[in-house]
Structure 1
Amino acid sequence: MDIEQLIRQELADKRHMQTGWTEPVPRVQAGIRRRRRRRYTVASSVVAAAVLVGLGAVNILQDRTPEAVTPAQGTIAWTDTPASLPNLTRRSPRPDVRACTESDLAGKPWAESNTIAASGAKTYTVLIANGSDTRCTLGSAPQLTALRSGDGEPTALAASTQAAQHAGAQMPATVDPGEPVRLDITVTPCANAAPPTYSSVAITIGQHHVTVPGITPGCEFAVSPWYVQAPLINAPLTVSMSAPGTVRRGSTLTYQVTIANTADQAFKLNPCPVYQQGVGEVTRTYQLNCSTTTIPKHASLTYEMHLDVPASATPGPSKVTWMAALANGTVAIANLATGGETVQIVE
């Protein structure tokens, strides 16, 4: 018996026959339905898990994203309640270090006219920056020189010593690199409208006479010691103001101030702060309207402000300033970067 015959014999053997399905079509359809149900269940589970994961991610993002500052509804009315500023907190005095030298103060000074007395005397604040790369200290008042009328000879002035004219002046003056050291010079005009005796006022620093531009000629002079203007300590608030572009002198300027609390906790206005507002050289101090005693976290309050502009105000651009002072002496200054809002005073 060859191979072919053996294969035929085995294929014909009934012991190897398989029993088939009695109803094959219904069984195949049932299997298809089972597989579809399994796919639907798995797909539904995947979608549900994705939704839960997505919601979790949104919650995480919401928890980590800072809230925007929300303005309060409406504007809080102005109240005419005069007040006094508390003692303001400033940076502590610095310890003395090495004495400033001529080379430290070799830069060009500049002067700011601050006050004009009823007598006509003008007080200027003179500033010179520390041009070195280290801290240094200046002590007593400098010698002033000026050109004498008639012959133009440089002359040492017999200037009297006066106190610094600014609150927060710290002496001796210890200044950082780039920081200005200051002094105040008061110039009194000559009596009976006589011509000035001296002009071109200069500060003697070592062997050099440094002329200060912008100081008017006069007959009598007074000078303060060198000092440094210690900065105020800021409260954790941001203040902005919005004022009209023009205001008539002799009228009342109405403007708005917004105090924003960007912290993650509410800010209590208790005790109620006071604020100082001003235009030009005129300042007024009032109690804030604390009908709302709390600024919620990431929220702000807007206040209406009234400020009388003197009839004697000089026409032209002028700064409107606003500063809140808290009971602990810290301050919140409106438009801190620009020192206030510029308005045009008109006739």
Structure 2
Amino acid sequence: MTVEERLRRTLADEVLVLPAWPDPMGRVSAGITRRRRLRRLFGAVSTAVLAVLTAGVWTAVVAPAGPRPAPSPSAATVPWKDSPIGAVDLFPPPSPRPSARPCGAADLATSVNVTDNGAAGGHRFIDVKIRNTSGSRCTLSGSAQLTATDARTGARGHLTTRSGTGYGGTGYETPATIDPDEEATLGLVTGNGCNGGANPTTYRDIAVVMLGRSYPLGTLTVQTTCELEVTDWMLDIQAHPLTPPPYARLVPTLDVPATVTIGQWFDFTVTLTNPTEAAVAVVPCPAYRMTVFKGGGSYWLNCPGMPVPAHGAVRFAMRLQVAGSTPPGLVHLQWQLLDQPGVSPVADAVLTATT
């Protein structure tokens, strides 16, 4: 066998395919939490669920694509049916927050908070946040000016800036309509791609100027070869969700078998507990994802319209096939309710896979 033939055979071997991330958005969000870029998650819900309903208990039976065994007959369950949904956007963008009266200087804090979000692609990203200290909602529109001192010459004055495009995406909304105690965000972006990266300018004693006030940025010092980019004032949707995550309060726990057989189906249950004082209505019916090694996928949870009661719980039956390529030994099972990006309740368990 030639080297080329061996390479082609190796690349075509499904056993060597890396498992998909169980929670792509969660992992990406964790890596760029402070960057707040592209918060939308596109999930593929390739199969659907039919619920199994008992008195006071919700049950749902799910199975990945391919041959699916029927549940064992039982008076306590109802047959499920295959009802594929196809590709959908699990997290559609929220409707924009309606604008309110313009924010005045008296509505805002007298100081700002500064967060250095680090550098990427030759740019450095800095958040400047100002809080609404008034008793009502207001809208902070437009951008702001910067004043600073050139560290090399000692000269101080207004900086020439350009409109910022390094932020944006679905993680922010412009203008910033902020409720009491919420913050508006101004993004500053440096660049080192001008003049071949040579002779950068260092600025210190930087201040944001707007509404007749100057807001010092503390000890922040920036170095750039390009004009600084300054965004408009934005609302950080992840920090201030336009629609509160409906299921973030629910706590999932798993009841799983200690041992599962490779290539075979196994049953387990997920209990969603509500530790709060108010019932949680499961409307709209959410999706969830379950994975064990290479098996699993995303599915709709079966919701007969009953809420999860305060200090109560609802139990769901699950069914999953262990992929034939699963190696013997300890394997990780993850079950995740797909709420808004970054706010998805997760439960984990460890199983032993045997042949």
Category of TM-score, reference length = shorter chain: 0.3 to 0.5
* Greater helix fraction, Structure 1 or Structure 2: 1
Question: Quick check: which has more Rg, 1 or 2?
Answer: 1
TM-score when scaled to structure 1? 0.48
TM-score when scaled to structure 2? 0.47
